[in-house]
Amino acid sequence: MPEPYRKILDNVYEIDLLEADDSDFERISKEKSLGLSLEELKKIRDYFKRERRNPTDVELEAFAQSWSEHCCYKSSKPILKRTVFTIKAPQNICVIAEDAGVVDFNKEYAYVVALESHNHPSALDPYGGAATGIGGILRDVVCMGAQPIALIDPLFFGPLNYKEKLPKGTKHPQYLFKGVVSGIADYGNRVGIPTIAGMVEFHESYISNCLVNVGCIGIIRKDEVVHSRVGNVGDVYIMAGGKTGRDGIHGVSFASAELGEESEKKDIPAVQLGYAIMKEPLMHACLEANKKKLLTGMKDFGGGGLSCVSSEMAYAGNKGAVIELDNVPLKQEGMAPWEIWVSESQERMMMSVRPENVKKVLKIFEFWDVPATVVGRADDTKRIKAVYKGKTVLDLDLDFLLKGVVYDRPAKYVARDEADPGFKMPDLEDTALRMLNSPRVGSRESIIRRYDHEVRGNTILKPMQGKINHQTHGDAAVIKPLVDSFQGLAITADVNPIFCKQDPYWGAASAVDEAVRNLVSVNSRPHSMADCLNFGNPEKEDRMADLIKACEGLYFAANAFETPFVSGNVSLYNEGVKGPIAPTPTLLGIGIVKDVRKTVSSDLKETGNILYLVGKTGQEMGGSEYYRMLGLKGGLVPRVYPEKTKKSMNCILKAMDKKLVRSCHDLSTGGLLVAAAEMAFGGDLGVELDISEGNMRTDYKLFSESNGRWLIEVRKKDAERFESVVDAKKIGRTTKDGKLKIKDGKIDLELPLEELRDKWDAALEKE
C-alpha cells in the first residue's frame, strides 16, 4: 500500500499523520471512509505528536467511530444540554440514564425505555435495516438487566403512490414500506416480544431518506439493575452472542453522512445482518447471569462495535482495558484487526465479570447454546489497548478518545409563510370521503396484524380496539408488566412532521401535547418520554436552526407538562438528492395506569350516549391534512397551551377513575370528523353531531387539528356528574342508524358509515 501507509504487521498499517499535509488528510479520510473532517484529523495528529508516534489504522478507525455524529452527538450536544436535558419532573423519577432510561414504576420495580433510529440502513436494505433496528433496541434494554416487554415502530416514508421518476440510487417508497414492515414483523415475532404501538407517516421529503425509528420498553427489579460499565480492576471481558464479520463496517460513519446516488453500492457493507434466532437465547442468558449477580457490568455492541463497547465500559468505570483480538470469534477468515475492531455485526453483548465468576457465566451461556468467549481484562491505566498476534496495535487515552469533539454550529432560521390562504369551502361530503381515504388517516390494520402484539399475554389494551370485525385505532396501548399487580404502562408514539416542516417549534410542542392526550385517553397519567430527533445535515444553517427550534419546542411543552425525557437519540444527515427530510422529532410517550381494569378504549359503547368535546377548536390550519389535501400552503400551526390542557387532563382522569367515561379519543390528524368516524367504526354505531355554536366555518370546525382536545362518550345517567367534573361541550349522541350526521346551522351532512369505513379500510391498500 503506497504512502502515507506503512505495513507493520499482517493486515496492520501505520499511517503517517505527523508529516501529512492537508491533501494527505483528505486522501486518508476518503480512502478509509473515516468521515473525519480536516480539523478533526489535525486534532488527532496533535494527539499523536504528544504520543511521539504515528497511529495505526486500527487507532484511526477507533477515532472515526467515537467522533462520529452518531456516537458523540458533536452537533446536537450543546442544544440538548440547554433544552431537553434540563426538564424537571415533580419528583426524581429517572433512576439511571445510560444505554436506556431506567424509570421508577413502583417501590420494587422500574421500567426501562429506549428509542433509536435505523434510517440509513433501512433506506438501502429495508428488510435487514428494520430487523437489525429491532435487534439493537432490544439489546439497549437488556444491557440494563431488564426483560423487554414491548416494542414500538414509528415509520416514515414517501407517498406510496409516487409516480415521478425516482432519483438515482433511490428505492420506491412502496418497496421500502413493504420491506421495513416485514423486517420488523419477522424479527419481533421471532424473539417473542410484542409490537404494541407505533405510527406510519407519509411525506414527499422521505422519498430519498425513509425513517425507521424503533423503541423498546422493559421491566426490572431495581436491585437487579446493571450498569454499562466495568466494575473492578481485573474484571474479565466476556463477549457473547453472534460472531464478528464484515457486515456493519463503518455503520456509524455511514449514519453520519448524507445518502447519495452511490450509497447503494458504496455503503451496503455498512448495513448489519440480523439473526433473530440467536437473539432470544442471548437475552435469556444475559438476564440469567445478571439475575444471579454474576456480572459487574453489561453493554450491547451498538454503533462502533467492539471499539466503542470496550472503550465506553472501561471509561464509564474509570478504568482501562486490554482486548485480545485473536480471541474474537469471526465469521470470515482473514479479517484485518481494524475490521474486527469496528464491525457492527449483530446479536453481540459484552459483560464484565469477576475472575472467580467467569466459569459460572460461561456455563450459563453454554446451557443456552450461545457462544461466549473471554476477550479481555480491565486494568487501572485509563487507556484502551488492543493486542493482535502478540503485538499492541491500539493504545489510546480514553479521555481523549471518548470526549470527542463538540461544535456550536451556525444556524439561520428560514421563516415560513403563516398567512392563511383564501379559498371557497369545498363539497364537505366529498372531502370527508377523501379525508378518510388519505394514507395519513386511513386504517393501519394491515400493518398492525403483521405484528404479534399479544405474545407474552400482557397486552391489556391493544392497538386495534372495538368490536370484532369492526375494530378501530386506539390512542395508546396498555401493557401489564407484573403478575401480581394491576398497575400498567400506557405506550404511544407521536409526531406530525408536516406541522414540524411548517413550524419546527410549534410542531415539536404539538407532538408533546398529542403524546399527553393519547396517554390520557386510555386513563393513564403521562409519566415520561423518549425522543428520537431526526433532522437533516447540521452543517447547513437552516437545518441546524430547525433542530434548535424543535428542541426549544420540546422543552417548552414537556417542561410545562412536567414530563421529562428519560432516554433519546439524535439522527442527523437525513437527506439525499431531493433535499432534507421534514424535521421529525419522534416521541415515545409512557403513562402510568393505576389499575388496568379501568382502562378506556376509543370505540363507542352504546346507543343513546352523549358525546362531549373537551378543549377549544381554533382556526389553526397550517400543516393540517385538510390543507394538504386541497394543495394549500401557509397558515398557523396549532399552538400549545399546557396549562389549559393540564387542567382538562386532570379532570378527565378524575372522571375516568369515577367510571364516568365510556370511550375517549383525542383529536389530531383530520380533526373532529376523523375522531368521530373512528370511534363510530370501533363501536359499529352511528353518530349525530351538532356543531352550530360559534361563527367559524364548518370545514374549520370539522378539520381543524387544534391541540388540547378530546371527544368523550358518557352515559345519559352520568352526564350531570361528568359535567360537574369536566369542562366540556355537549355536541352529539350515539345512534344505531349506521350514519355520521353533522349539523352546523343550515348545513346538514349525512354520511353512511359503511361507505366511510370502506374508504378508511382501503387507504393503504389502494396504493
Is the preceding peptide bond at 355 cis, omega within 30 degrees of 0?
no
Tell me whether strands 109-117 and 211-221 are parallel, antiparallel or unpaired. antiparallel
Is the preceding peptide bond at 4 cis, omega within 30 degrees of 0?
yes
CA distance 755 to 580: 38
538: nearest Cα among 509, 574, 496, 569: 574
Indicate if 70 belongs to the active site.
yes
Residue of 118, 120, 227, 473 marked catalytic: 118
Helices (H), 471-503: 497-502
SS3 113: strand
- DSSP code string of 683-719: HT-EEEEE--SSSS-HHHHHH---SS-EEEEE-GGGH
SS3 401: helix
Residue of 70, 453, 473, 665 marked catalytic: 70
CA distance 474 to 600: 10
Determine the distance from the C-alpha atom of residue 89 to the mean position of all C-alpha atoms in its chain, rounded to a whole number.
21
Indicate if 172 belongs to the active site.
no
CA angle 685, 479, 212 (to 5 degrees): 90
600, 663 contact by CB (below 8 A): yes
Contacts of 452 (CB under 8 A, 6+ apart): 188, 189, 192, 194, 195
Instruction: For the chain, report the end-to-end CA distance as a whole number of angstroms.
Output: 52
Name the β-bridge partners of 544.
none
464, 445 contact by CB (below 8 A): yes
260, 105 contact by CB (below 8 A): no
Structure-block grid coordinates of residue 198: 407505533
Query: Which CA distances in Å does 591 have to 55, 378, 653, 662?
Result: 50, 40, 12, 20
Question: Strands, DSSP E only, in 429-524?
Answer: 459-461, 464-465, 472-473, 477-479, 488-494
Question: Cell 478509509 appears where?
Answer: 32
319, 230 contact by CB (below 8 A): yes
Active-site residue set:
70, 118
